[in-house]
Structure formats: C-alpha cells, structure tokens
Amino acid sequence: MQTALAAAGLAPVFGRGAPAALPASLASDARTVTRRTLAANEEIYAEGDRAMSFYKIVVGVVRTYKLLSDGRRQIGAFYLPGDIFGLECGEEHRFGADAVTETRLVVHRREPRALTGDDGNLAREVVAAMMRDLERAQEHMMLLGRQSARERIASFLLALSERTADAGGAVCLPMSRNDMADHLGLTIESVSRAVTQLERAGLIELPPNRRTVILRNAAALRHLAD
C-alpha cells in the first residue's frame, strides 16, 4: 500500500484508526484544495486525462466507466457522499467519471502536501478509500462472473442499502436502469424484467416515483445473492 501511494504521488501513511472527516483547516487551504459543483451527467474527467487531482463527494453521486471498443459502456463503480475517487497509481485516469446527479466535490491536488495536514487524517481516508475500492472491485468481479440477472440485482440493492445505511429498508436509486445495466453487465430489458420479478415475489416494493426501492425481505434477497 505504501508503494501504491508513492507511485500515485501521495505521501506514505502509517498508523491506525478510522478515517476522519476532512478538517476545516485543510479544506480552506487554496493551495491544494478547491470545490467544484457539477450538473447531472456532467463530465468530471475522461479516460486518459492526466490524473492531476483526486476527489471527495460532498453531495451527489458519481459513476466511473470505460467505453469499450464496440461502443458499449462498462460502469466500474458508483460513488456516494463521503467517498473518495480518482486515485491513480499512474499519470493518467484509467476510467472516465461523470456526475450522476447534481454533485458537489472537494478537489484535492495530487501532491504530497495535500495529505500532510491535521496529523494525516486525509491520508488515512485515502488509504481506506483504496482498500474499499479493491474490495468492491473483487465483489464486482464475482458478481459479473457467477450470478443471474435476479441475483445481480439483489446483490446490487443489498450493497447499496449497506452503503446508505437506511434503517427502514428504503434504497434510493439515483442512477438510471441503463446505468444499472451497464454496471451489472446486463441489458436494460434484463434489469427491468429482474426488478419486476423481485417485486412480484414480494422481496422488494417499488413506490410510484420508481427512484426508491423498499427491501421487503432482505433475508430472501441475501439468500438469492449468495
């Protein structure tokens, strides 16, 4: 991990502890930190752009993606408020990134002094973000390789529920079904059909706005996803 940080132009990090909130002293340092507001579907950076910065989401949702040689899009991940993205070991971004909804970001210049404030709290956040990215990439690989459409949708909804920590079982879906399809390796028709099957089975409920899913039987969803 220390080698990865050094390769990315980030300071090595030592010590333990949960990631801390971004300190006000660092957030106000105009030398390394700026803020950016984006409209829905606005590009943050393109694949192949120089990786000059990394980002923390304050409000909104971001997707990272690759465009395949045949024109298809593969969405690698969705990032939610509090998440850090755009971390690279090389000099270029390997994925593009767009705002899914109206989004506010804290933008950190990619240089060691960006991580040296407040006893390295941001540095610990960066390491935690890298580890979460690795874990989610492994889970995504397993999901694409082994599961049916219904199983993929169940896994996706459960993971999103865990990340948003809604005690009532309501999961907000800021992304479109087309986004879900491109993330899960499915067609939009397969996504719609699988969602309808889960609803008819009583495992989920779809309120009229269709942007929220209520998990009616999380245990059955977990059994389906395993």
Q: What is the mean pLDDT of residues 207-219?
A: 86
Predicted confidence (pLDDT) per residue in 150-159, tens digit:
999 999 999 9
CATH 2.60.120.10 intervals, the chain: 34-139
CATH class, 147-225 region = mainly alpha
pLDDT at 223: 92
Tokens 């540095």 belong to residue: 123
Tokens 């599961």 belong to residue: 147
Q: CA-based Rg of the chain, rounded to a whole angstrom?
A: 18
| Residue that wins the pLDDT comparison between 8 and 207 | 207
pLDDT at 149: 92
Q: Which fold has domain 34-139?
A: Jelly Rolls (2.60.120)
Predicted confidence (pLDDT) per residue in 11-46, tens digit:
333 233 333 344 443 344 556 789 999 999 999 999
Beta strands in the chain (DSSP E): 33-38, 43-45, 53-59, 62-67, 73-79, 84-85, 96-99, 103-109, 170-172, 204-205, 212-215
Predicted confidence (pLDDT) per residue in 82-91, tens digit:
999 999 988 9
The DSSP-derived string for 54-116 is EEEEEES-EEEEEE-TTS-EEEEEEE-TT-EE---SSSB-SSEEEESSSEEEEEEESSGGGG-
Task: Please tell me the pTM assigned to this model.
Answer: 0.81
pLDDT at 166: 63
Q: What is the DSSP letter of 20?
A: P
pLDDT at 62: 98
CATH 1.10.10.10 intervals, the chain: 147-225
Order of strands, edge to edge, in the sheet holding 170-172?
170-172, 212-215, 204-205
* C-alpha–C-alpha distance, residues 221 and 171, integer Å: 14
